[in-house]
Amino acid sequence: MPIRLDPNLLPRLLTAIQTSQQNINTATQQLASGRSVNQLSDNPAAVAELVGNHNQVGQDDQFLQNTGTLQTRLQVSDSTLSSAVAVLTRAVSIGTEGANGTLSAADRQAVAGEVKGLSSQLLSLANTTYQGTYIFSGTAVTTQPFTLNAATNAVTYNGNANTTSAQISSGNSINSSVPGSQLFTNAAGDAFGALQNLYASLISGTNVGQAVSQVNSALTQVGVQRVAYGNALNQIDLSQNFLNQDKINLSSQENTLVGVNPAKAATDFSQAQLANQSTLSATGRVLSLPTLLDFIK
């Protein structure tokens, strides 16, 4: 009859049972999470890399959020300048018509009235806001950039000449605004001054052609400055593409680092269950065997 030579097998048997149960727990966790590393003790080196990976993903997400907000602001700015170009283009067309000498005084008065309306449109565009702040006042975003003196029809710029910049990815910044003084009251092309001169010239019937040339210069200047917004939007597109691709790469690296093959995880789980059942069965059989002490008694 078989007997147990070691009467104190319990500690070793309990250790074997605990080990087999831990293998089941590990296999279950890996199968459920799809990851081979679920706690620091599983693989400290992999966990350290994983922390760096997650930090980079978080940074990418923050940049994507920032560029998304900035992109919308720049699009509003660019759209506003597109409307400003349309206003100035219309003013050139009106002025050219008034300069050909075929309009009567009454017709010139009517055309001058339209120019005045265009000037009001441009003032409204130049004072455009986005999310409660002015987009063409430099860094003085809470200050209305342009005000009209009703007595003289002169427009004054109240913002500053500073530009703002924004970081769109690690180590990559762009200028995110152009001050209104560069756009609408630039010495190379003063849009408000040119429209005011065109209005006065149409009323008086003199120097209309010269006034049209001034509006043309202002139109050119707005177009030149508008390029900055187009360039910034292109850079944002490139940055967003880079950040999204970086997130894909980081996800792939994480899967390589801690991911598990579902088929292998299922096999490991089955094997761990079988091993646990075998350990429990063997333990039961061993503990039921008599020891030498049983015979001595």
- Residues 228, 109 within the same domain: yes
Q: What is the pTM of this model?
A: 0.72
- Residues 97, 214 within the same domain: yes
d(CA 278, CA 86): 84
Query: Is 163 inside any structural domain?
Result: yes
- Residues 244, 267 within the same domain: no
Query: Is 109 inside any structural domain?
Result: yes
Query: Is 9 inside any structural domain?
Result: no
Q: What is the pLDDT of residues 95-104, one digit of tens each?
A: 999 888 788 8
Q: How many domains does the chain have?
A: 2
- Residues 75, 161 within the same domain: yes
Q: CATH number for the domain including 146?
A: 1.20.1330.10
- Residues 197, 238 within the same domain: yes
pLDDT at position 293: 46
Query: Is 268 inside any structural domain?
Result: yes
Buried-state track 215-252, b at ≥16 Cβ within 10 A, e below 16: bbbbbebbeebbebbeebbebbeebbebbeebeeebee
Q: Residue 74 in contact with residue 176, Cβ under 8 Å?
A: yes
- Residues 297, 221 within the same domain: no
Between the alpha carbon of residue 129 and those of residues 63, 76, 118, 279, the distances in Å are 23, 9, 19, 73
- Residues 277, 168 within the same domain: no
Query: Is 41 inside any structural domain?
Result: no
Mean pLDDT by runs of 10 across the 297 residues of the chain is 49 63 64 60 70 88 92 96 97 92 87 96 98 96 96 94 90 91 95 96 93 97 94 95 92 70 61 64 58 49
pLDDT at position 3: 43
- Residues 169, 296 within the same domain: no
- Residues 199, 286 within the same domain: no
- Residues 288, 190 within the same domain: no
- Residues 124, 232 within the same domain: yes
Phi, psi (rounded to 5 degrees) for 2: -70, 145
Query: Is 245 inside any structural domain?
Result: yes
Q: Which domain holds residue 170?
A: 63-252
pLDDT at position 4: 45
- Residues 103, 172 within the same domain: yes
Query: Is 25 inside any structural domain?
Result: no
